Structure formats: structure tokens, C-alpha cells
Amino acid sequence: MGLLGGIYAIWLREVKRALRDRGQLIGGVSRPLMWVLIMGIGLNPYFRGEVFGEVRFAIPYTYIQFIFPAIVVLNIMYTSVQSAVSVIWDREFGFLREVLVSPLPRWAALLGKILGGTTIAVFHGCLVLVLARFADVTFTFEQLALGLVYMFLLAFGLTSFGVVIANHIRSFEGFGVFSNAVILPLYFTSSSVFPLDPALTRAQTLVVYPEWLVTIVEWNPITYAVDALRGTFINFNQFNPSLGPIVLAVIAVVFFTWALFDFRKA
Amino acid sequence: MTEHTSNPAENAIVVTDLTKRYGRMVALDAVNLTVPNNTMFALLGPNGAGKTTLIHILCTILRADGGQAFLAGSDIARQPLQARQNIGVVFQEPSLDDRLTAYENLDFHGRVYNVKAADRKQGIDELLALVELEDWRHAVVRTFSSGMKRRLEIARALLHKPRILFLDEPTVGLDAQSRAGIWSYLDTLRKQRDLTVVVTTHYIEEVENCDQVSIIDHGKIIADGSPSQLKHAHGKETARVTPRDPETATAITAKFGIVQTSKDGSLIIDASAPGFADAFLGEFGSRIKQVSFDVPSLESVFLTLTGRELRDRGADEHEKRGAAGRRGRRS
């Protein structure tokens, strides 16, 4: 009971701080609006292709529908990784010590912190879901529930990842540079903004795309996060549907363990 | 300390042979220390003596290289979580979340230390009243002055009713009024509950009111006892003399031997011999500008033991290294 109270206290602090940070909230709202309204609507008419002389839709969805789950992932990525800035903050401004001398075990302190970041990230993911109507995406309550589970796993894994990075970076500036240098490439190579046509064999895909790009997409774990959410929200999977949940769970476990290892050393 | 037994259960703090090295530098050299329950204990020493290192080890945020320490009966190496439940800590630098309000900082602390909701609420009210911050309960800590922050940290460190309160230089950087305030809060508290207070300081006048004082230098405890015991054992009556010319200075030095030379050129000499004043003034009375006599004080005890005046300070190499270590203690 005492342990839960402590984890709750740390979680509560993270959430309070994030909600008081106007800049983060504005980013969380404006980012999906920009992607849905500008990218989505702008590219919508071009999202059909001619493959081997045969005109057809690449996939049976509009472009907005196609990128909508990816925008959920993008918003979660930004928020999760950003939330790890608070690790640097705590170290710089001394609050870390208050936690270190407390009778709370290290793993509980870390868990509270990561759950706090995860909550905010899932919340920002939900801000995108509010736009579902404009993207012409409809889903049932069950789909929403499953989607939230995937979003939670993704946010948990990415927040842990952010904490790992924050443990190795000393300055706020370094962290800002880092997060942009990592988030966007991961996002763009996750088959988020363009599909790898599932109707094509790998050999045919390689005719359309250079091999390095296909390889990166296939190795990028975010690809499977996007795919899992696509499968959930628009019933479209480019990869084996069971891969998504597995990859998400592995990311969450691996990075949390890593973050804990670093934090114990501290 | 010989008059107290070393039974960990009867003493708030028992430290045996505690050692800490930073590379080749020995920060703590087999420190032994016993602090009985309910004492106001002061750790006195110049900068870089190892005070902060000792406190950090006792708070379990720094690991010792050797030796043992018990806090309220718990071994800090084997039962760190239990030891932490029994201590409250106020560090040299603030460790508040300055984006939260005073109340939220205290509430956070209470939850993390598993203080029951009703006790937490009552404790927060009482402690905010004690440190005179009731009116600032819902103000964000960022807007606080450094004195207010320090007071809030003291209130926070007491919320879970610790048996030992560590204060690392609690009055540094505060104006005289705030300093006096902090000591009066501590006095009030010790009348209300069982509490051992461990304070490091280099303001000697603050130490006079403590029950027990340990003087630490170069990582070793060089003396301990109550202030009056220390004065008896190590204090000397000294005379501070300003000679008119260098020849007189040489003559005085030859005859009485100097304890120390002050920066302003005056000599501090041993005046404890009977009839010193007569003998000294008879011989040198016309050749000195000024003479003053010091009765034994902790200041003179400190001077005798370390050969330094406590106020001769300025962060030396060691302390700076400590400060750098505090900022990025992770590697």
C-alpha cells in the first residue's frame, strides 16, 4: 500500500507538471491538426497509383485515413520522449535527491515517473483521436479499447527510451537536438506517410522502392506500432498482424529494464 | 565518545571506521561517531573537511568504501530503505520542485514516505505554521525567497516524523534574521518531540547551543564533546597583540611563542600562564598598539586543533570538487 502511494505521488507530480506546461499542450494539439488538415487533405487526391500500367488505389483507403493512425503514433512519440526531459530537470535542480533519500525503492520511483510520462503521452494520442471524425475514421468501442492498450505500450516503451537517453545526456539543449534527430527519422521510416503495398511481393516492392529504404522500414520497430494501430483503427495491416503487439511489448520491457539498470547505478 | 555505549538501538547514530575515498584523496578517514538520542549535534569543520561527504553517506546517497553506520538502529548498507524512513534531510542546495506549490511539495513528500492521509493533512498544517509559511501554502515555490525555500524544506523533512534530522549548512546564504528563525524552529521542535538534529555549519556561534560537537578536519574527527567540555580540554586563553614594529614582534615571538599570525599583522599568543597579563604588559606595554584577551571559545578551540581560523575560508579545491560531483553524480 505504501509503495502504491509513493508511485502514485510521483505519477501525480509528473502529470501536474505536464498539465501546467502550456507549450507542451499547444504542441500536442497543433501537431495533429497540422498533419491531418495540411498533409492529410493536401495529399489526399494523389494517394492512388499506377503500378505496371494498371491504374488502381494503392490501398483501399483515403490518404487521411491511412496516415491517421500514424499521427497518433507521432504525437505519442513526441510527448513520451519529451517527458524524459524532466529527468534532466530533476537532476539539475536537485529534486532527484528528494526522491533518492526517500524510502521508496528505485524501481518504484522510476515506474511512477515513466507511468506519468506514459499517461501524458496517451492523453496526447487521444487528442488525435478526437479528430477521427474529420479524418473519416470510425471505430467501435472495442477497437478504441484495444487501440488504447497499444498506445499505452508504445508510450511506456518510448518514455523509458527517453529516460535512458536522458540518463546519458547532461543538458537540455542536447536533449532537444537529440529528440528531433531521432523522432522524425523514426517516424518517416515507419511506413507512416507512404505504404509499402502489401499486394506486391518483396521483389516487386524493391522495384518501386530502393532496397535500403525497404530494409529500414522493415527493421524500424515504430513500423509495427503504426501497423498495429492501423490494424485496430482502419482494419488495414501491411505486416503480420500479430507482430505489432509483440514488438510493442518487447520495446516496453526492454527499455524499462534498461532505464532501471541505469537508474540503479545512479 | 566514551561515555556512551555503542549499542545501535540506544543511539541515534553510530558510525564505526567509516571511510570514503575520491580517487587517491581520502575524504573520510576511519571516522567514528556516536550520537545519543535526542541530542542537538553539530559537525564543525572547515570547507573540504568531509562534512558533506559524511552527511551524504549517512543519507545513503553516497556509498562508503569501508566501515559501518547505523541510523536509529538500521544498518545503512543492509537496510537502506528502513534507515531512510527514519531520517529527514535538508541538503545544502534546494531540492524542492519549484513548479509545485508549497502544499504540493509537502503532500508529495508525505505520500512518498507513506504518511496516512489524516496525519499528512494535520502535519502539513502544523509544520507550515511552525515555519510561518501558512499564507504561502498555495503559492508556487518558484516565487519563494531562499530563506522561505529553506524553511519549507525543513518543514518537509519533518513531515514523516523522522527520528533524525540532517541539516547540511542550513543557514548558509541566509540573512541574520532568517538564520535566527531557523534555530528557533528547531528549538521549538525539540521541545515537542523526540528528535536528534545533526547540523553541519561553520558559524561557530550557532554551535554554542548544541549538546554535542564534533570537530572534523581532513576527514578525521579530531575532537568531540559538549561545547564546554571542548573549551575546557582544548581552549586556551589567548591574547591578540598588535606590535608597533617588527622588532617587537620578533621579541614577543621569541619570548611567548605564537599560536598564529592574523592577516592584519597581529599576533595571537598563549595567555593561559598565571600572571601572564602583568608579565606581558610590564615588558611590552609601551611597544604595542593594541592588546585584547580572548577567553576560551569554540573559535579558539578550533584554532588550537586545526591551526586555522574557521572564518578563513573561500571554497578550496576539495569543496569545489564536491560541488561538481553533486551536480552530475551519475558517472
Q: What are the residue boundaries of the structural domains of chain B, listed by start? A: 11-232, 236-295
What pLDDT was estimated at residue B266?
Answer: 78
Min Cα separation B96/chain A (Å): 6
Sheet holding B25-36, edge to edge: B25-36, B11-22, B66-71, B74-75
Which portions of chain B are predicted below pLDDT 50?
Answer: 1-6, 312-331
Which one is predicted more confidently, A122 or B23? A122
- pLDDT reading at A175 higher than 80: yes
Hey, which residues 7-26 in chain A have their CB within 8 Å of chain B? 8-10, 12-13, 16-17, 20
Residue B33 β-bridge partners: B15
Say what the ipTM of the complex is: 0.84
Domain locations along chain A? 2-47+63-265
Check: CB of residue A32 under 8 Å from CB of residue A128: yes
CB contact A53 to B (< 8 Å): no
The rounded mean pLDDT for chain A is: 86
Instruction: Decide if A9 and B82 are in contact by the 8 Å CB cutoff.
Output: no
Q: How confident is the model at residue A57 (pLDDT cuts 50, 70, 90)?
A: low
Q: Are A256 and A115 in contact (CB under 8 A)?
A: no
A264 to chain B, any CB pair closer than 8 A? The answer is: no
Q: For residue A11, is pLDDT > 90?
A: yes
Cβ atoms of A252 and A150 closer than 8 Å: no
CB contact under 8 A, A170 and B59: no
Question: Which band of pLDDT confidence, cut at 50, 70 and 90, is reported for residue A197?
Answer: low
Determine the distance in angstroms separating the CA of B20 from the nearest CA of chain A, rounded to an integer. Answer: 17
Give pLDDT tens digits for A201-235. Answer: 666 777 777 888 888 888 899 999 999 999 899 88
CA B79 – CA A8 distance, rounded (Å): 23
Shortest CA gap B97–chain A (Å): 6
Torsion sign across C-alpha atoms B170, B172, B177, B179 = positive
Q: In what order do the strands lie in the sheet with B238-243?
A: B258-261, B267-270, B238-243, B288-294
Task: Say if B108 is an interface residue toward chain A (CB within 8 Å).
Answer: yes
Q: Is the CB of A98 inside 8 Å of chain B's CB atoms? A: yes
Answer with the residue of higher pLDDT: A206 or A31.
A31
φ, ψ (nearest 5 deg) of residue B147? -65, -40
How far is the C-alpha of B114 from the C-alpha of B96, rounded, in Å?
18
Q: With an 8 Å Cβ cutoff, is B98 touching chain A?
A: yes
> Quick one: pLDDT at residue A225?
92
Domain B236-295 listed as CATH 3.40.190.10: no
Give the model's pLDDT for residue A266. Answer: 64
pLDDT at residue A162 above 50? yes
Rg of chain A over Cα atoms, rounded to whole angstroms, equals 20
Chain B contact for A74, CB < 8 A?
Answer: no
Q: Is A138 exposed, middle or buried (0-12, 13-18, 19+ CB in 10 A)?
A: exposed
Neighbours of B10 (CB within 10 A): 13
Query: Which architecture, in CATH terms, is B11-232?
Result: 3-Layer(aba) Sandwich (3.40)
Under a CB-based contact definition with an 8 Å cutoff, are residues A232 and A141 in contact?
no
Contact A9 B327 (CB under 8 A): no
pLDDT of residue B331: 34
Q: Which residue is closest to B324 within chain A, CA to CA? A: A92
Q: Is B324 in CB contact (< 8 Å) with chain A?
A: no
